[in-house]
Amino acid sequence: MAENTVLTEREGGLAVLTLNRPDSYNAIDGAMMQALLDALIECDEDASVRAVLLTGAGKAFCAGGDLKAMQAEDAAGRSVGAFLKRLTVPVHGAMATMARMEKPVIGAVNGVAGGAGFSFALACDLVLAAESAVFTMAYTKAGLAPDGGSSFFLPRVVGPKRAYDLMVNNAVLTAQEARDLGIVNAVYRDASFMAEARSYAERIAAGPTRAFGAAKRLVALSPESSLETQMEHERRAIAECAGTEDFKEGVAAFVEKRPPGFKGR
């Protein structure tokens, strides 16, 4: 096991979080999930962080749950159900923190995203994929039900029937197929993937963070809102953004015909 199961880097306003169990294809365990949750909370609380990039070390993004650890629990006569109930606490805490923080969270899927790894990709606000990356639900292949918020996010992206099909048939999607379904935003060549992903994330981190956060909340509220309710959310959000320094800078840059220099305030 790697000493640091989640690596954290800072590049200006961008925080890069790397799942770091490459020998097990970044399969999740309790220590790594708690470390990820702690890192995400720090990013959420730190006003100088304006975007988060989540990726995996080695050849995989995240292969999902550690089935060998589950098998060991069973072989030792311990309840695998209890093991999973404990494990899903930090997993679901990490998912919720990603979904609710104001800053955009960008997934850089550098390899396989299976099971909970697919769930983590779905929980990201934007997803970039290497051309060799693959996505598969995989849960029912091991006789398990989906977790990690995937039954919430996936139907909202691809529709309920296609989501259920992916859950029961466990198709392995290529990066391009995932893009065609709306799961992935952009696909890059393997050789330049991380450079492209960092460049993309740095552009997001240099943007109007408060406006990005408002847009993120509006998208999240939309499926459950009536038209009138959603427009009221929009009315309040745009008014709040009009009070930010970034709004003043954006207007000044437009009038002066220059690129804006947003500060995230």
Contact 16, 198 (CB under 8 A): yes
From CA 97, how far away is CA 164, in angstroms rounded?
25
User: Would you say residue 80 has pLDDT above 80?
Assistant: yes
Q: What pLDDT, in 10s, does the model give residues 239-259?
A: 999 999 999 999 999 999 999
**pLDDT score at 34:** 95
Q: Say whether 206 sits in a helix, a strand or coil.
A: coil
**pLDDT score at 74:** 78
Query: 191-221 b/e with 16+ CB inside 10 Å = b?
Result: eebbebbbebbbebbbbbbbbbbbbbebeee
User: Would you say residue 83 has pLDDT above 90?
Assistant: no
Q: Say whether 65 sits in a helix, a strand or coil.
A: strand
Domain 6-205: what homologous superfamily? 2-enoyl-CoA Hydratase; Chain A, domain 1 (3.90.226.10)
* pTM assigned to the model: 0.92
Banded pLDDT at 202 (limits 50, 70, 90): very high
Q: What residue spans define the domains of the chain?
A: 6-205, 209-256
From CA 128, how far away is CA 197, in angstroms rounded?
7
Q: What pLDDT, in 10s, does the model give residues 135-151?
A: 999 999 989 999 999 99
- pLDDT top residue among 169 and 84: 169
Banded pLDDT at 66 (limits 50, 70, 90): confident
Banded pLDDT at 72 (limits 50, 70, 90): confident
User: Would you say residue 71 has pLDDT above 60?
Assistant: yes
From CA 134, how far away is CA 107, in angstroms rounded?
14
Contact 162, 181 (CB under 8 A): yes
Closest residue by Cα to residue 116 from 160, 164, 150? 150
From CA 129, how far away is CA 126, in angstroms rounded?
10
**pLDDT score at 69:** 82
Banded pLDDT at 20 (limits 50, 70, 90): very high
Q: What pLDDT, in 10s, does the model give residues 84-122?
A: 888 889 999 999 999 999 999 999 999 999 999 999 999
Residue corresponding to tokens 């992206």: 157
**pLDDT score at 76:** 87
Banded pLDDT at 2 (limits 50, 70, 90): very low
**pLDDT score at 181:** 97
- pLDDT top residue among 2 and 165: 165
